[in-house]
Amino acid sequence: MLLKNALYLDKELEFKHGHILIVEDMITSIYDHDKDVQYTGEIFDCSNYFVLPGLINAHSHNPATLARGLFRDMELKDWLNESFQGGLQEKLFNYLDESVDSEDFKTLCFKAYSEYIKQGITYIVESGQADHSEKATIKCLREIGLKGTIDLYETYEDNVSLASDSIKVCTHFPEEEDITEEWVEFCRLLEEKHRPILMTHCLETKWRKDLIMEKFNCSTVKLLDRENLLNSRTVLFHCVHVNEEDMDTIAEKGASIAYCPVSNMWSKAGEAPIHEFLRKNINVLLGTDFIYQDIWEVMRLTYYNLKLKSETRQYTAKDVFRMITQNPNNKVGNHMNTGSIHEGFKADLMFIDRNDTKLLPIVDNERFSNILHNILLNCREEMIRHVIIDGKWVIQNRKLTMIDETVLNQEYRKLSEKLINNWITDKT
């Protein structure tokens, strides 16, 4: 495929004019805009679009759309309590665990993944929401065309063969309430034998921080470091309650932090010190986490939080886009080669309508450009007209190409109404 007349975001996060040649799943050549490129295959005229690399959601739990509103106004430590709301939460989790091999589970996964793709997300880190759902999840990702890194938890050794060019696998260090000496030893042996990507929820809440201090008399970061489990293949979700020493250790070891500000706010986990993460040159990624799936809200809130805690000109839209595209490269998946538009990288791209008046006015010359800033603050989902993953169209004119979205929405609506009605009327 040849993308002609593209105004694309290059690896320096500057917009350039050119023609992009895609062979199979790879960007193989980028030509200057004034070059007359002759091509006999598929040609797509990009004159009406801004072409950007696909976004990488570095922390998510799916399927979770059924959970919307069921966890409202409740801190994480109070989930599954004895209230009616806690009972609904428990029924949701039990249902997901029991439905892994069903068509219902497939419908729920497709619904979540379709919402990601339509936002321009081409790669996700999937920590799952149901027990033993790895194979079903991978099957759904492949069918809908989305790429990802799947957290295999304790089944890593049994399922490491599930990895492929588009699906990577990792393992998990348990949350603070579940950490035992046996779990630590298990992860240590995996590290020695396989050197896997290791992920964990880390110091997300004060409640969890207090737990780890009581159990091990140190922070989760220090525990990981002590056990030689903190390195460039480690991804820590949240890190809301880290201290100065923790951040210095993370930076020294080259680990990454998945920053999830929307999740941390609605769950009252707290505010992670992202400005300090960046000041210490920690590799920061962005994630939606659980239930709320709007990655653009995450990106905008990241930008606003940086503005509040730093000099006005210190951080720009480039810094936010770097966290959602380039920073995850080779961190959440072995040699993904995605998140950037240049030769030798995967053709994972989104096409934003450059004629939408919400993005105007546009100024773009050698002295000043506001394109990326305007896209960050004003782009809405409906402006993302097309998405390519591995060189294949997965969204064209806002429509999914791999599945029938009309049928999917009908099935999801019926399933949602049936389950909620059953859970409300269930007296047990």
Decide if pLDDT at 427 tops 80: no
Residue 140 has which token pair?
């759904």
pLDDT higher for 258 or 312? 258
Q: How many separate domains does the chain show? A: 2
| Residues 41 and 61 both lie in one domain | no
Query: In this predicted model, what pLDDT tens digit does every residue of 155-197 receive, in sequence order?
Result: 999 999 999 989 999 999 999 999 999 999 999 999 999 999 9
Give the pLDDT mean for 261-286: 97
C-beta of residue 27 within 8 angstroms of C-beta of residue 343: yes
Do 205 and 293 fall into the same domain? yes
Give residue 187's domain range: 55-324
**Per residue in 217-271, pLDDT tens?**
999 999 999 999 999 999 999 999 999 999 999 999 999 999 999 999 999 999 9
Q: Is the Cβ–Cβ distance between 52 and 120 less than 8 Å?
A: yes
Structural domain includes residue 333 = no
pLDDT for 399 = 97
Q: Which helix (H) or strand (E) holds 283?
A: strand 283-286
pLDDT value of residue 333: 74
Percentage of residues in the chain having pLDDT higher than 90: 95
Does a structural domain hold residue 343?
no
Q: Write the CA distances from 364 to 7, 258, 361, 367, 368, integer angstroms.
A: 11, 32, 10, 8, 6
From CA 120, how far away is CA 135, in angstroms rounded? 24
The per-residue pLDDT for range 318-333, each reduced to its tens digit, is 999 999 999 998 788 7
Q: Please provide the average confidence, as pLDDT, over all residues in the chain.
A: 96
Tokens 């505010």: give the residue: 271
- Kindly state whether residue 427 falls inside one of the protein's structural domains: no
Give the residue from 143, 105, 141 showing the smallest Cα distance to 123.
141
Is the model's pLDDT at 359 over the cut of 70?
yes
Q: If we measure between CA atoms, which residue out of 291, 288, 316 comes closest to residue 374?
A: 316
Which pLDDT tens digit goes with each residue over 392-419? 999 999 999 999 999 999 999 999 999 9
Asked whether residue 353 is domain-assigned, the answer is yes
For 411, residues 6+ apart whose C-beta sits below 8 A from its C-beta are 107
- For residue 309, what pLDDT is reported? 87
Residues 60 and 185 placed together within one structural domain of the fold: yes
Q: For residue 50, which amino acid is it? A: F
Residue 42 shares a structural domain with residue 104? no
* Residue 97 host element (H or E): helix 84-98
Instruction: Please report the pLDDT score of residue 426 as a whole number.
Output: 83
Whether 428 shows a pLDDT value over 90: the answer reads no
334 has a pLDDT exceeding 80: no
Average the pLDDT over 131-135 and give the result: 93
Q: What is the mean pLDDT of residues 23-41?
A: 94
Average pLDDT over residues 83-100: 96
Instruction: Please check whether residue 256 lies inside any domain of the structure.
Output: yes
Answer yes or no: is 425 within a domain.
no
Q: Could you tell me the CA-to-CA distances from 2 to 5, 28, 40, 45 in Å, in that order?
A: 10, 10, 9, 8
Question: What was the pLDDT predicted at 94?
Answer: 96
* Cβ neighbours for 185, distance < 8 A, ≥ 6 positions apart: none
Same domain, 209 and 142: yes
Distances (CA, A) of 199 to 10, 214, 233: 30, 22, 8
Question: For strand 384-389 and strand 392-396, is the pairing parallel, antiparallel, or unpaired?
Answer: antiparallel
End-to-end CA distance of the chain: 57
Task: Kindly state the average pLDDT of the residues 3-27.
Answer: 97
Domain boundary among 288, 308, 324: 324
Residue 369 DSSP label: B
Domain shared by 95 and 208, yes or no:
yes
Instruction: Assign residue 244 the CATH number of its domain.
Output: 3.20.20.140
Query: Residues with Cβ < 8 Å from 241, sequence gap 6 or more?
Result: 203, 204, 205, 206, 208, 209, 270
Name the pTM for this structure.
0.97
Looking at the fold, whether 239 and 318 belong to one and the same domain comes out as: yes
Residues 279 and 156 in one domain: yes
Does some domain include residue 242?
yes
66: left (phi over 0), alpha (psi -120 to 50) or beta: alpha
The closest alpha carbon to 323, from 277, 392, 383, belongs to 277
33 shares its domain with 60: no
One domain, residues 137 and 42: no
Q: What pLDDT score was predicted for residue 336? A: 84
CATH number where 27 lies = 2.30.40.10
Both 301 and 367 in one domain: the answer is no
Q: Has residue 65 got a pLDDT over 70?
A: yes
Residue 414 falls inside a structural domain: no
Shared-domain flag, residues 320 and 360: no
